[in-house]
Amino acid sequence: MSTFRPKKRLGQVFLKNKAFLSKIIKAGEISSKDTVLEIGPGKGVLTEALLQAGAKVLAIEKDPQLVIFLKEKFQNNKNLTIIEADIRDFLKNKEFNAQYSVLNTQYKVLGNIPYYLTSHLLQLLLELKHQPEVIVLMIQKEVAQRIIVQPPKMNLLAVSVQFFAKPEIITYVPKSAFWPQPKVDSSIIKLSPMSFPRKRESQFFQVVKAGFSHPRKLLISNLNQTLKIPKNQLQEIFSKLNLASNIRVQNLSLENWKDLTTHLFA
């Protein structure tokens, strides 16, 4: 693997500063009782730390060259299963799920993921019928900061993630900690999934997406134009919820969105 060249199209960067591995393991509270779905094991530095913690690991790696390397590095390790696949396909493919039953059991998700995958991957993970106990990922610093915000800085990504899970930034990781060095810093983010009534999910996101359809406009205008709800009806609901008629989307909390959904679909 000395001649291995990271593939830009896969967004490959590898953690070379192992000091951050213990922070990932600690955030995930990894022990010998755990089954871990590892996303993008790369050269296996986190994989090795997970195995040393006693966890059973199912590692999903897209790059066939790295799959060969990992199988050689960890040959005969009974606690590790390496699968050559795109994590998006793995999460959506029923055949994978039938063959590897991890998604039907108690499991945790850890990994250092390509930046371009972040939003879509979080959506796939959080919308799984059987959610992981915890998700700990290395993602772009700016994206992590967008996820944890509160009013008056709320955004669509923050509302979407916080509907499913409680987010927490564990630590920031400088770009110098990776090879090849990316252009931006990273963060280790922890997401603790929460239970919620599934029957409200589609309605909630219908309202949220309508609200964020034109972020610079007033919320009441967006709901009126997108959901075709009369303004006088919206004003009555806003009044009941103590929301100003001129409020903008970035000022609503997660609970505000939930209350709004309940009243709009009463």
My answer on whether 113 and 209 are in the same domain is: no
My answer on whether 15 and 137 are in the same domain is: yes
According to DSSP, residue 78 is labeled T
Residue 117's pLDDT band, with cuts at 50, 70 and 90, is confident
My answer on whether 153 and 246 are in the same domain is: no
d(Cα 182, Cα 174) in Å, to the nearest integer?
A: 9
Lowest pLDDT segment from 75-79, 96-100, 191-195, 260-264: 96-100
Task: Please compute the mean of the pLDDT values over residues 101-128 and round it to a whole number.
Answer: 87
**pLDDT score for 181:** 83
**pLDDT score for 128:** 86
Whether pLDDT at 116 is above 90: no
My answer on whether 176 and 230 are in the same domain is: no
My answer on whether 99 and 45 are in the same domain is: yes
What's the total number of domains in the chain? 2
Mean pLDDT of the chain: 90
**pLDDT score for 14:** 66
My answer on whether 162 and 216 are in the same domain is: no
My answer on whether 222 and 168 are in the same domain is: no
Whether pLDDT at 16 is above 50: yes
Q: 91: closest CA among 57, 64, 121, 116?
A: 121
* 2 located within any domain: no
What CATH number should be reported for the domain holding residue 256?
1.10.8.100
Cis bond upstream, residue 180 (ω within 30): yes
**Which one of 195, 230, 253 terminates a domain?**
195
Global pTM reads 0.90
**Which one of 163, 195, 227 terminates a domain?**
195
My answer on whether 98 and 155 are in the same domain is: yes
Higher pLDDT, 101 or 118: 118
187-223 pLDDT, tens digit per residue, is 999 999 987 666 788 999 999 999 999 999 999 999 9
Residue 66: domain span: 8-195
Q: Are 79 and 55 in contact (CB under 8 A)?
A: yes
My answer on whether 169 and 69 are in the same domain is: yes
d(Cα 7, Cα 1) in Å, to the nearest integer?
A: 14
d(Cα 131, Cα 191) in Å, to the nearest integer?
A: 11
**Which one of 164, 195, 226 terminates a domain?**
195
My answer on whether 134 and 103 are in the same domain is: yes
Q: How would you classify the pairing of strands 108-112 and 135-140?
A: parallel
My answer on whether 44 and 170 are in the same domain is: yes
Residue 77's pLDDT band, with cuts at 50, 70 and 90, is very high
